[in-house]
Amino acid sequence: MTLPISLDALKDGESFDLIVIGAGGAGLSAAVHAGIDGARVLVVERSAWVGGTTAWSAGTTWIPLTRHMKTVGEADTLERASAYLAQVVGEHGDLQARQALLQHGSEAVERFENHTEVHYRPYATHPDYESDLDGATLRGRALEPVPFDGRQLGPLFDLLRPPIPEFTVLGGMMVDRTDINHLLNLTGSWASFSHAVKILSRHAVDRLSRQRGTRLVMGNALVGRLLLSLSRQPQAQLLMQAEVTALTGDAAGGVTGIEIEQGGRRRRLQARGGVLLATGGFNRHPQMRAQWLPGIDASWCAGAPGHTGAVHELVRPFGAHLGTGAKSPAFWAPVTLRKRPDGSTAVFPHFVMDRAKPGMVTVDRGGRRFVNESTSYHRFGLAMQAAHAQAAQDPARAAVPAFLVCDATALKRYGIGMVRPGGKGLEPFLADGYLTEGRTLADLAQKLGIDAAGLQQTVEQMDGFARDGHDPQFGRGVTAYQRNIGDASAGHPNANLGPIATAPFYAVKLYPGDIGAAMGLDTDASARVRGSDGQPVPGLYAVGNDMHSVMGGAYPGPGITIGPGMVFGFLAARDAVARARAGSPAGA
């Protein structure tokens, strides 16, 4: 099938088995699964890019109990996974949907790997985020997409949303954690030298004819594999830069199709099996953002720009509504901000590369710690907001922005935010204020506008904690997850603690950035959207961040948005295709 098509290629009233709105990871997954079953599928994307936030992400996919568990020597059972999620999520997520994820996740992965170009591998050590709880695992549940040769996409490569520039090197070369470790150890081992030469040579060849590299890793690899798989489905079609203006049908009979516009042309299209929403959630919807994320500036959002929540408006006449009970309406990460030369703002999430490493500490306006810097990025973002909420009574508690502080040794070894490891090329970051440098801690505090005595005392405490290998304030480095994102090779008693002693000292400003919606449309265990009566709306499905999170606003492990998006995309597609072939209402 030639992708994409123009709206001119479709007749008014033309019918599909499944219409998918949104070409991110979850939407493409549903479309590909429907295509495997031979269904006629239309994917509608309002932007010029395929991939959504998935294309910007690490692409990690959290799905327990797959065949990949055995390859890393990890034992897992349905009971263990269920017990773990029960502790982390509790009553904040729908139990039936949670069980559906666990029971069908392995099937969804095997179906992908047996019938499409989507392939995964487990990282050697990738712990669940609450690794101290019963049922947690250190590896195997978090899968990463196998690197992908983007040249296989041919002209479709240009549809793939490029990665965040700050996550690439040398003018568009994508690197994952494995690549970074080899590049940093370029002269340390033959294996690292060989790996580095291989990927650098490949990138040099790519740049002779392209604006960026075609060796794709992380989220770009996952989306690239999904897009190639979709293109090989004989009855799949893709519309780009097309806007769904209405859903057709009524509250009683359910959703029967869509009204769509592209370049001033309009069509009404029918959906025999249903319409599936996969547009990324509400995060950039102005009114919903103001209601559910008060005080969180939209410029701090690390999600893709297409997540406007517009389809949420279209489904209200059918009785669709948001789910309730989530611990948080969104998922979070500390982010730093920097203006690019083109005037856009780079939003850089601080996931694992700096804040948990030895020689790093995060402080508030008073120069005091308020968080375990080695906790998950979601918990970190929540802690920033909780601390900042106390600023009305005590201005020194202000933690938005917070300040990630390090010394010259840590900066050289790990980098900080958008500043690469090595300690070179700092001038542009210092000049535009992204990075602040101080000859002494007092000098740094003065430039940042924080309490110098508080910062000095905090650093002295941290130096003592580093010597002892114990953090009595917040327990930094006490779990396997925390130690995994530290640096045991630094030679300190605690992989997450090190002295902050070598001048000059540096800092960047952290903001609580939303990385995805946890609150979405209320659905059942087959991703069917429920109406005001609690029953499924016939022919209406929601997956990804349009679906109320099965994790209930908690963050149990890496890839807990992409993993459920893939699995519920499979379940929704299966239900919709069966409905199309039976000619019966959804839920009947």
Number of other CB atoms surrounding residue 450 within 10 Å: 22
Cis peptide before 428 (omega within 30 of 0): no
Can you tell me whether residue 442 is helix, strand or coil? helix
What CA–CA distance (Å, rounded) separates 172 from 44? Answer: 28
Instruction: Please state, for a pLDDT cut of 90, what percent of the chain lies above it.
Output: 89
Sorting pLDDT into bands at 50, 70 and 90, what band is 201? confident
**Residues whose CB falls within 8 Å of the CB of residue 41, separated by 6 or more in sequence, listed in order:** 16, 17, 18, 19, 20, 31, 34, 35, 233, 235, 236, 237
Can you tell me whether residue 495 is helix, strand or coil? coil
Task: Give, for 410, the enclosing helix (H) or strand (E).
Answer: helix 408-414
What CA–CA distance (Å, rounded) separates 358 from 407? Answer: 10
**What single string gives the DSSP state of each residue in 133-161?**
STT--SSSSEEEEPPEEGGGGGGGGGGBP
Among 232, 245, 223, smallest CA distance to 21 is for 245
Q: Is the separation of the CB atoms in 343 and 553 below 8 Å?
A: no
Sorting pLDDT into bands at 50, 70 and 90, what band is 587? very low
pLDDT of 197: 85
pLDDT of 1: 54
Q: What's the rounded mean pLDDT across residues 258-276?
A: 97
Q: What's the rounded mean pLDDT across residues 334-362?
A: 96
pLDDT tens string 409-426:
999 999 999 999 999 999
What CA–CA distance (Å, rounded) separates 430 from 185? Answer: 27
Q: Which residue segments constitute the domains of the chain, with CATH numbers given?
A: 1-145+237-329+518-588 (3.50.50.60), 331-514 (3.90.700.10)
Q: What's the rounded mean pLDDT across residues 363-383?
A: 98
Q: What φ, ψ does residue 193 adopt, rounded to 5°?
A: -60, -45
Among 206, 230, 207, smallest CA distance to 50 is for 230
> Greatest CA separation found in the chain?
73
Query: Pairing between strand 265-277 and 254-262?
Result: antiparallel
pLDDT of 182: 83
586 pLDDT above the threshold of 50: no
Q: Quote the tokens at residue 267.
A: 């069509």
Q: Quote the tokens at residue 151.
A: 């040249």
431 pLDDT above the threshold of 50: yes
Q: 3-state SS of 369-403?
A: CCCCCCCCHHHHHHHHHHHHCCCCCCHHHCCCCEE
Q: 3-state SS of 539-583?
A: EEEECHHHECCCCCCCCCCCCCCHHHHHHHHHHHHHHHHHHHHHC
pLDDT tens string 312-347:
999 999 999 999 999 999 999 999 999 999 999 999
500 pLDDT above the threshold of 50: yes
Q: Quote the tokens at residue 529.
A: 């959207």
177 pLDDT above the threshold of 90: no
CA angle 161, 420, 475 (to 5 degrees): 100
pLDDT tens string 555-580:
999 999 999 999 999 999 999 999 99
Cis peptide before 64 (omega within 30 of 0): no
pLDDT of 584: 53
What CA–CA distance (Å, rounded) separates 255 from 268? Answer: 13
Q: What's the rounded mean pLDDT across residues 496-514?
A: 98
Q: What φ, ψ does residue 12 adopt, rounded to 5°?
A: -60, 130
Least confident span in 88-102, 171-185, 276-290, 371-385: 171-185
What residue type is 263 in one-letter code? G
pLDDT of 553: 97
Q: What's the rounded mean pLDDT across residues 492-497?
A: 98
What residue type is 283 in one-letter code? N
**Residues whose CB falls within 8 Å of the CB of residue 237, separated by 6 or more in sequence, listed in order:** 1, 3, 4, 5, 9, 10, 41, 42, 43
Instruction: Please state, for a pLDDT cut of 70, what percent of the chain lies above it.
Output: 99
588 pLDDT above the threshold of 50: no
Q: Quote the tokens at residue 361.
A: 């500490």
Q: 3-state SS of 171-233?
A: CCEECCHHHHHHHHCCCCCHHHHHHHHHHHHHHHHHCCCCCCCCEECHHHHHHHHHHHHHHCC
For 372-411, b/e burial (b = at least 16 CB within 10 A) is: bbbbbbbbbbbbbbebbeebeeeeebbbbbbbbbbbbbbb
Q: Quote the tokens at residue 528.
A: 């069917």
pLDDT tens string 69-79:
999 988 899 99
Q: Quote the tokens at residue 47.
A: 């932007």
585 pLDDT above the threshold of 60: no
Task: Give, for 446, the enclosing helix (H) or strand (E).
Answer: helix 441-448
Cα dihedral angle (322, 328, 332, 338), rounded to 10 degrees? 70
Region of 140 (left: φ > 0; alpha: ψ -120 to 50; beta: rest) is left
Roughly how many angstroms between the first and final C-alpha of the chain, as a whole number?
Answer: 33
pLDDT tens string 2-34:
689 999 999 999 999 999 999 999 999 999 999
